[in-house]
Amino acid sequence: MKVLHVVGARPNFVKIAPIFMEMAKHPDIEQVLVHTGQHYDAEMSSIFFEEFGLPDPHVNLGVGSGTHAQQTARVMLELEPLLEEESPDWLVVVGDVNSTVAAALVASKLGIRTAHVEAGLRSFDRTMPEEINRLLTDQLADLLLTPSRDADENLAREGIDAAKIAFVGNVMIDTLIRLQPRVRDRWPELRARLGVEDDYALVTLHRPSNVDDPDTLAQVLGGLGDIGRRMPVLFPIHPRTRRRIEEFGLPFPRGSDLRLMDPLGYIDFMALTAHARLVLTDSGGIQEETTYLGIPCLTIRPNTERPVTLTEGTNRLVESRDDAIVRAAEAVLAGSGAQPGRPELWDGAAAGRIVAALEARRAHDV
Ligand code: UD1
C-alpha cells in the first residue's frame, strides 16, 4: 500500500508524526511525505520535524504565504503533477488548514482516495477559514477519521455515509504521550533559562478574528497586560501576530511582566504548558493538550470546534475583551486545581487505529 501524506502548517506536524511512525513499522506500507511549505520559518516548521524524529519531507512544494486563494491554488497546482506521478493508494491529510483542503480537492478529482484525520469537528462559524476547510475536506474524503463522538454526530447530520466514518481518537495526544519523558526532562533547564517558577501564565494568539482587527487586538493585549501585573505572562508570538502589533502601532502594556518571545518548539512549549497556572489561547490543539494535562485553559474565542474540552476538560470560552479576560483569569486563580480530562480514546493509540482503518478499507476495496 502506498500512502502520500500532505502537511503544511505547524499543527499538522504534531498530528502526522505518530501516523508516519506507526506506518513505518509496516513493511508493506510505502510512505511519501509532502510538505506544502505553507509554514516555512524554522521555528514554525523544521524544529518539529527534528523533535518528532520525522524524516525531511520527500518533497517541499514551497508555496509560502499569500491570500487564501493564492495559497490554496498554489498547493493545488504544485500537487497535481506530483500525485499523478506518485499515484498513491491513499492521500492522508490532517486538520483544517489551507493545505488540507487543497490537497483533498486535487486528490478527489484524480480519483485518489483521501483519508481525513481529525474529521467532523465543527465550530458552526463560517467566518473561520478553518471551518470552511473542514466542511469541504469532509465532503471530499473517502475515509473520515474522527477524534471524538461529537464529530461522528456532526458528520451524520451532514449526510455522510456511516461506512466512511471511523472513530479513532485523538492523534495529537499520541504525540503528547510519546514525548512526555522529554518534556519532563526539559523543565529544569527551561525554568532556569526563563527565570520562572510554576506561577506564570502562557499565551498563544494568532486567529484572524483576534489579531487582524486593531481594536480587538488592543483589547486582548490589554487583558494580558493586566494579568502580567500579577504574574509573568509568557507569550511565544506567532509571526502574524507580531506583524499586526507592529503594523497597528499598539502600545505595549506598561508595568506588566508580559514577555514576548519567538515561537517555541514542541518540547519547550509543552513543558511550559504542563507547569503553567493558566493558559490563554485561540488555538485548536492547545485546548486539547491542556485538557489532557489538567491545566486551566481560557480560549479567547466565541466558540470551539472541540466541545469535549468544555464538557470533559479544563477549557472555558472567553470574549476578546480586556475585562472579560481579566475576570476569567481571576476566577481561575481563585479556584482549586483543574482535573485532567481524558475523553474517550485520547489514549496514545490513535495512530494504530488509523492505520488499521486504512488497511481494512484496502482489504475490502471500499
Ligand atoms: C495557519 C492555519 C491555522 C493554524 C495556524 C497555526 C489556515 C487557514 N490557517 O494559520 O488554522 O491554526 O496555521 O499556526 O491554513 N508566516 C511566517 N512564517 C511562517 C508561516 C507564516 O512569517 O512560517 C506569516 C506569513 O506572513 C503569513 C502569516 O504568518 O502571512 C499567516 O500564515 P498562514 O499560513 O497564512 O496562516 P496562519 O495564521 O499561520
pLDDT tens string 269-291: 999 999 999 999 999 999 999 99
Q: Which residue, by CA, sits nearest to atom 18 of ligand 1?
A: 41
Q: Using CA positions, which residue lies closest to atom 12 of ligand 1?
A: 283
pLDDT at residue 363 tops 70 = no
One-character DSSP codes across 260-286: EE----HHHHHHHHHH-SEEEE--SHH
CB of 9 sitting under 6 A from ligand 1:
yes
**What DSSP state is assigned to residue 228?**
T
Per-residue pLDDT tens over the stretch 206-254: 999 999 999 999 999 999 999 999 999 999 999 999 999 999 999 889 9
- Ligand 1 pocket member 97 (CB < 6 A): yes
Nearest CA among 150, 125, 122, 207 for reference residue 139: 122
Instruction: Dihedral sign for Cα 180, 338, 331, 288, please.
Output: positive
What pLDDT score does 351 carry? 98
Helices 129-140 + 98-109 axis angle, to 10: 20
Q: Does the beta carbon of 65 sit less than 6 angstroms from any atom of ligand 1? A: yes
Q: How far apart are CA 62 and CA 59, in angstroms?
A: 9
pLDDT band, residue 364 (cuts 50/70/90):
low
Distance 8 CA to ligand 1 centre (A): 10
For atom 34 of ligand 1, which residue has the closest CA? 38
Choose which CATH entry (3.40.50.2000, 3.30.420.340, 3.40.50.970, 3.30.750.24) describes domain 2-169+346-365.
Answer: 3.40.50.2000
Return the pLDDT at 330. Answer: 96
Are both 2-169+346-365 and 180-334 of the same fold? yes
- What pLDDT is recorded for position 228? 97
Q: Which of the pair, 360 or 341, is modelled with greater confidence?
A: 360
**What does the buried/exposed string (b/e) look like for 98-130 if buried means 16 or more CB atoms within 10 Å of the residue's CB?**
bbbbbbbbbbbeeebbbbbbbbbbbbeeeebbb
Do 36 and 59 form a contact (C-beta atoms < 8 A)? no
Handedness of CA 83, 86, 88, 90 (dihedral sign): negative
Measured CA to CA, the distance from residue 12 to residue 7 in angstroms comes to 6
What is the rounded average pLDDT of the residues 134-154? 98
CATH number attached to the domain at 180-334: 3.40.50.2000
DSSP-based three-state secondary structure for 351: helix
Cell numbers that stand for 71 in this block: 495559497
Share of the chain above pLDDT 70, in %: 98
- The answer to whether residue 66 scores a pLDDT higher than 60 is yes
What is the per-residue pLDDT for 365? 57
**160-197: per-residue pLDDT in tens?**
999 999 999 999 999 999 999 999 999 999 999 999 98
Look at ligand 1, atom 30, and give the residue with the nearest C-alpha.
65
Q: How far is the CA of 199 from the centre of ligand 1 (A)?
A: 30
| pLDDT one-digit tens code per residue, 105-128 | 999 999 999 999 999 999 999 999
Name which of 287, 291, 279, 299 is nearest 338 in CA terms.
291
Tell me, what's the pLDDT at 287?
98
Q: Where are the beta strands (DSSP E) in 238-335?
A: 258-261, 278-281, 297-299, 315-317
Domain boundaries, the chain: 2-169+346-365, 180-334
pTM higher than 0.85, yes or no? Answer: yes
Q: What is the pLDDT of residue 7?
A: 98
Strands 90-94 vs 278-281: parallel, antiparallel or unpaired = unpaired
Query: What pLDDT is attached to residue 214?
Result: 98
User: Using an 8 Å Cβ cutoff, are 232 and 259 in contact?
Assistant: yes
Instruction: Please give the positions annotated as active site.
Output: 206
Question: Looking at residues 41-61, what average pLDDT do you find?
Answer: 98
- The average pLDDT across 127-156 equals 98
Question: Quick check: 92 pLDDT over 70?
Answer: yes
Residue 336 has pLDDT above 70, yes or no: no
